[in-house]
Structure 1
Amino acid sequence: MHTSNGYGLWGLAFLNAAIFIYFAYSYYTPKTTRDWRSFGMYSAFIVALFGEMYGFPLSLYFLSGWLSTRFPGVDWLSHDAGHVLEMMFGWRANPHFGPFHVVSFVLIGLGFWLLSRAWAVLYRAQRKGSVATTGPYARIRHPQYVGFVAIMFGFLLQWPTVLTLLLFPIMVIAYWRLAKHEEKDSLAHFGDAYRAYMEQTPAFIPHWRSNRSRSAPT
């Protein structure tokens, strides 16, 4: 695989994976076994992604025959063709400015923003020994997991591969299960305070109205 096609750049693959794993680590700062498990799943996804983005396009190599038949005129072993959704929907300009690529950057940015904001709120709450209910936690109970999913889905839009497509739903289910385990621990530790928080605040998808407006008497 020639570097002129944008592949075989294993040093670049390692560098990008290390940067995005470090960013997530600095925002998330795993401490418990569950924290490390969720962070490890994210790291595996990132390594698989950049391994195909800059190392060897395994998915495109195996699917190039089918893709060439369905979408003729595209060099599916070129680096730009790794932006599969742009190619499939006929975007022939620079794929880095394609609609899926732009949306992916928004999701990735939102995911890292959630991680950073949620970590600061959770850190202060843990220092006080209280339930985290401000910042992103005022809207959803698990902003850090939502942040990880947003980042991974953003990368999936930008550069889908067979492995990451298989990993993504598995990891979403794993994060959902980790969130449920954390809620059991929080209920055991905080009792009614956390139970009231659960009744007012959705787990993953925020309500349009604030907690204050939802809890106001009618």
Structure 2
Amino acid sequence: MELMFAWFLVCVIGFLLMMALHFWSVEHQKLKRRFGKKKGVKIGKILGTFSGWMELVFLLGFWISPQPRFTLFLNLSISFPLVNFSIPLSHLITAIFLMGVGAWIAIRAVREMSREVGFGVIDAHSKPRKIVTSGPFSIVRHPQYLGADLAHVGGSILFSASYALLFTPIYVMCNYLISWKEERELVRELGKKYKDYQENTPMFIPKIWKNK
């Protein structure tokens, strides 16, 4: 039991350290003041890219690390004898839906940002050139993090990972803090335009109906 929890704890610590790097990567002004304009932008990109990929690695660690397993409902499972692994059918269906929707939202967000602004994921930590308000960004301000939250819940259910599922509120809070930090930088750099966008578009949860 102690070894089981230790593996998960290592993933948690690693993930939180990467979130700290991610947090630092979006501090455009501080990085430029400390390292100079060009070098500051480059360091921000490197930190953002490295922390982003490592967050995914530790997230996978959450799902597959030894931990108590659970079943939502129904005991019918699909087995994979070659890897000695089985997935409850209810988990598979739920996970495919959540991870599929989450991935679709995140990919649409990245594609829309690339189409509108002309940069890919690696440049998301550079100084913003304009506010993207089309596609999923017209529904929520941070669709990529909304997609990540859904995918994490889906992955936790897919692997029946109880610790990972219990970690979800902390994961959501981390994404909220990153979004909050990004928005502070965006308000500094884009001013009233971004404030207007904040007032008209929710951060994560889409509006079911709009006020007339």
TM-score of the pair, normalised by structure 2: 0.62
Which of 59, 62, 70 is equivalent to 2:67?
Answer: 59
Alignment-derived partner of residue 71 in structure 2: 85
Assess if the C-alpha contact under 8 Å between 2:99 and 2:152 holds in 1: yes
Partners of 1:125 and 1:134 in 2: CA distance: 8
TM-score normalised by the chain length of structure 1: 0.61
CA distance in 2, matches of 1:94, 1:44: 26
The amino acid of 1:125's aligned partner reads: E
**Are residues 1:109 and 2:100 paired?**
yes
Mapped contact 1:42–1:148 kept (Cα < 8 A)? no
Take 1:171 and 1:139, find their aligned partners in 2: how far apart are those partners? 22
Q: Deviations over 1:77-131 (max 9, x none)?
A: xxxxx5x214xx4x23235563333111100001110111000111233339210
Q: Secondary structure at the match of 1:133?
A: coil
Aligned-partner Cα distance in 1 for 2:91–2:118: 41
Structure number, greater radius of gyration: 1
The question of 1:119 aligning with 2:110 is answered yes
Q: Which runs of 5+ in 2 are unaligned?
A: 1-43, 79-86, 120-128
Q: Are 1:98 and 2:89 an aligned pair?
A: yes
Distance of 1:112 and 1:42 partners within structure 2? 13
- In structure 2, give the amino acid aligned to 1:43: V
- Corresponding position of 2:164: 164
TM-superposed deviation, 1:151: 0.6
2:38 paired residue number: none
Aligned residues with identical type, % of pairs: 23
Change (3 A) 1:38 1:174: farther
Q: Tell me how many residue pairs correspond in the alignment.
A: 152
Residues 130-150 of structure 1, C-alpha deviations (whole Å, 9 max, x = no match): 101011100000000111111
Aligned to 1:113, the other structure's residue is in SS state: helix
Match of 1:72 in 2: none
Cα distance, 1:194 vs structure 2: 0.7
Amino acid at match of 1:85: T
Q: Does 2:38 correspond to 1:47?
A: no
Tell me the CA shift for residue 38 of structure 1.
Answer: 4.5
Cα distance between partner residues in 1 of 2:166 and 2:97: 23
Structure 2 equivalent of residue 73 of structure 1: none
Question: Letter of the aligned partner of 1:114 in structure 2?
Answer: I
Kept in 1: contact 2:102–2:151 (CA 8 A): yes
Is 1:193 paired with 2:190? Answer: no
Match of 1:6 in 2: none
Tell me what 1:17 maps to.
Answer: none
SS in 2 for 1:85: coil
C-alpha root-mean-square deviation of aligned residues, in Å? 2.6
Is the alpha carbon distance of 1:134 and 1:35 closer, same or farther for their aligned partners in structure 2, counting shifts above 3 Å? farther
Which sections of structure 1, spanning at least 5 residues, go unmatched? 1-29, 53-57, 61-81
